[in-house]
Structure formats: C-alpha cells, structure tokens
Structure 1
C-alpha cells in the first residue's frame, strides 16, 4: 500500500512539510530500540463535515503513553487536535487514518530520552481487517507480562509481538491471531480488543494484560445505552470456544465479526448477534447520525 506521494504533507514539530522532504535520524533511539509512542485515530466524513472521532481521548492517551515510558511530551493537546484538522484539510482527506508518533533524538544508551519530536501523518485507509467475518487462530505467542512493559501505553516496540502473531496466523491460512496472556487467559488480537457473546450477554477481558482501547471503551458505553449486559472478566479458551458469537474492535478495525477460532465455528448467525447490533450502532455514532437504526 502507498501511504504517501509527492504531494503528501505531514506535520513535524510545529511545521507542515512534504513527506518526501522529511528524514529520520538513523542513530535515533526510537529506531534502534523501538522507544517511541504512537496513536491510531480515524476521521470520518459526516453530514457535519470531517470529524476526528474522539480526538481528545487519543491525544490524551498519547501523552499518557509518553509519561508511562518517561518520554518528554511538551505539546498542548488542544493545539495537536487543531493541527490534525489542518493536516486533513491540506491533504484533502475526509475519511482518513491518522498516525501521531512521538520519537526520540539520537541516543545509543538505555536511559530515557531527553529530547523528543512529534510527527502526525494521515492517509486513506479502508476496513483494516476487511468486510468479511474473520477466521482466527489462537497464537503461539503471548501478550507481554505487564510487569515487563506498561500494557496501557501504545509503545512502538511492543508491536513486534503483534507482527509475529499476525504473520504466524496468516502463514497458517487464517485472517488474524488471538493472543493469550501469561496465565493462559484470552487477552486480545494483535491490534484489537475482543468481545464474546454468550446467552445474550457480552463478555470482554478486564484491564491489566491488554491495551484498554478507546474503541473498547466506546463499545462498553454503547452496551449501557442499548441495555446490553456487559461483563468484564477473565476468559479462558474454553469460554471462547463455547461462545455464541465474537467480534474484534479497534480504531483501525472498527467492529469486525469473527466466524471461527481454530476449528470452532460460532453458531450464531452474525446478523442476529449483539456484535452486529454494536457494529451498526458504532457506524452511526462515528458518522454522527442521530438515529442509530438498530433493532435489539
């Protein structure tokens, strides 16, 4: 996929400049050690114009991620939101994926960086995992122990784990992976959280061994609005493979139904599932439609 061309503009340390004219330092601590933090944000073309969904929550989490790994974050969140809208306007993007990245200056030592830069870029990106229900496998890779790295921070280096899990899944003919935690409980997908449905209720793993996604929080909010019982609890592989239905959620993923996990096929038809209701409601929410047009 081509993420930019000769006309693409990005935001770098307070200035807008052509992507083709920007450089990265090969001695950078972020390049060598994965010591950087980032966000994934979506903008939607709504009837109210281009809207960045939950922009403040994403930039606040970017700031929090930097704080958790002791990276300086001297920028004002309100200004970053303003510059993001300007970036979309300059690039004539209405439906877009937005990637802010905070990275460090040259430093080959293993101590916290003292000087950071911020870059924001954006590109058109469709459904990250496609539009069909997914064939998923339990990965042989586990999510990191939360005592080894702050799981609530979106740290670049943590995503090597995600790359390995997705690559393994695709090499076996699956669409995506699902990782367990160190206690063999269900954790999350390489880039998304998971919900399972059983007997008219939704369940999702609790915080601790997962990235507590902003989309995950939105799904929980929608469950309260729609009077869907939602339970956060540790889930085993057996719980998953006795569930009626399941779905992934994330900013890039949005809401994506799961057809099967390993050999187990979920028995409930997707269109009859709570996940499908959430999917329709979520789409209405991000597009700022007044009527959710859902049937529970």
Structure 2
C-alpha cells in the first residue's frame, strides 16, 4: 500500500508540510522504545460532505493515552480537529484513514519527557479486512498483564504484541489472531474488539484487559437503540467456541464477521446474525444515511 506520494501533505507541530520532506530524529525515545501514543480515525464521504466519525472521542482518547503514559499533551483538541479537516481538504481525501501520532524528542533515558511533538497524516484506505468472513486462530501470545502497563492507553509499543500475534496467525494460514488475557479468557484481536452472540444476546469482554475501543462503545450504543442486550463479562474459550456467531469491531476493521475460530465453524448464517444487523446499522451511522433504527 502506498501511504503517501510527492504531493501528500501532513500536519506537523502546527504546520502543513510535504510528507516526503518531513524528518524525525534517530535518537528519539519513540523510535528506540516505542514511547508514543496514537489514534486511528476514519473519515467518510457522506451526503453531508466528508465527515470524520467520532473525532472528538478519538482526540479525547489520544489525550488520555498521553496522560497515562506521562507524555506531554499541550495542544487544544478543538484546534486539532479543525486542522484534521483542513488536512483532508488539502489532500482532497474523501474516504480516508487518519493517524495522529504524539511522539517524543531525543533521549536515551527511561524518564518521561518534558515536551513532545504531534504529527497527523491520512491516506485513502478501504475496509481493513474487506468483505470476507475471517478465519481466526487463538494466538499463543497473550495481551499484556494490566499490572505491567496501562492497557487502556493506545501506546505505540503495545502494538509489538499485535504484530507478533497477526504474523503468527498469517504464517499458519489464518486471516487474523485472537489473543487471550493473563487468565486465559478471551481478550481481543490485535487491532479490534470482539463480540459473541449466544441465544439472541451479545457478550463482550469487560474492560480491564483490553483497549476501550470507540467502535466497541458505538456497537453498545447501537444495541441500546435496537433493543439488543449486551453483557460485558469474562468469556472463556469454551464459551467462545459455543457461540452462535462472532464478530470483530474497530475503526479500521469496522464490523467484520468471523467464520471460524481454530477448527470451529460458527453454525449461524452471517446474514441471520446480530452481527450482520450491527454491521448494516454501523455503516448507515457512519455514512449518515437514513435512520439506522429502521434497518431491521
């Protein structure tokens, strides 16, 4: 995938610059230690022009991630929102993925910095998984122990764990991995949260060992509107494999169905599942189409 070309512009510490001309310091803490925080945000072309979905929530979480990781966050979030829309306009992006990144200056120490930089870039990007249903394996890697780090922070270094899990899954012929937590309960995918359907209800792992996904919160909001019960609890592997259907959700993934976990094929047809209903409702919501309440 080409993320930028000679014409692409990024936002860097208050200025718009050509992506190919932007530089970073090879002695930065972020490069050496993964000490940075970021967001993944989606912009959609709607009948009301280009809209960035839940942009305030994303920048709120970026600030919270920085606070948890002791990375300075001196920026006005309303100004960042304004400049994000300006960035899309300059690059003529309609449907795009947006990546704000807060990173740290040169330092070989293990002490939090007193200043930081922010970069915002964007690129054209379709759905992360496409339209197919996923073949998933349970990873040999676990999500980090919440006593070892702030798992609710979207910190760059945390994603080494995700890269290892996805690489392992693809090397075995699967589309994606599913990680367990330290107690061997279901946690999340490398870049998405998980919901399972059983007997007309949805279940999802409770917060504590997972990233508090903005799409996850949106799914729960949609379920309240659609009168679908959602239960947040610890989910065992046995419960997962006994589910009627399963789906992942995330900003990049949106809503994507899971066909198999290891050797288990979920028996419910995707088109008959709650996940499929949520998938349609979510698409209508982000595209600002007709009231999503009527789609079922």
Normalising by structure 1, we get a TM-score of 0.99
> 2:201 matched to 1:181?
no
| Aligned equivalent of 1:200 | 200
Local SS of the residue matching 2:255: strand
* Distance apart, 1:291 and its partner CA: 2.7
> 2:36 matched to 1:36?
yes
Name the CA distance, whole Å, in 2 between partners of 1:209 and 1:288: 32
TM alignment of 1:265-276, pairs within 5 A: 265-276=265-276
Name the CA distance, whole Å, in 2 between partners of 1:25 and 1:295: 50
* Distance apart, 1:294 and its partner CA: 5.3
Local SS of the residue matching 1:102: strand
* Distance apart, 1:270 and its partner CA: 0.1
Name the CA distance, whole Å, in 2 between partners of 1:2 and 1:152: 30
1:7-66: per-residue Cα shift (whole Å, max 9, x none)? 000000000000010011000000000000000000000000000000000001000000
Local SS of the residue matching 2:202: strand
| Aligned equivalent of 1:7 | 7
Runs of 4+ more than 6 Å apart: none
| Aligned equivalent of 2:252 | 252
8 Å contact from structure 1 (residues 27, 108) kept in 2? yes
Task: Structure 2 unaligned segments of length 5 or more: list them.
Answer: none
> 2:271 matched to 1:233?
no
Local SS of the residue matching 1:145: coil
Name the CA distance, whole Å, in 1 between partners of 2:98 and 2:125: 9
Name the CA distance, whole Å, in 1 between partners of 2:152 and 2:112: 18
* Distance apart, 1:292 and its partner CA: 2.1
Could you say what the CA RMSD is over the residues aligned between the two structures, in angstroms? 0.8
Normalising by structure 2, we get a TM-score of 0.99
8 Å contact from structure 1 (residues 280, 294) kept in 2? no
Give the count of matched residue pairs: 296
* Distance apart, 1:289 and its partner CA: 1.1
8 Å contact from structure 2 (residues 281, 295) kept in 1? no
8 Å contact from structure 1 (residues 10, 19) kept in 2? yes
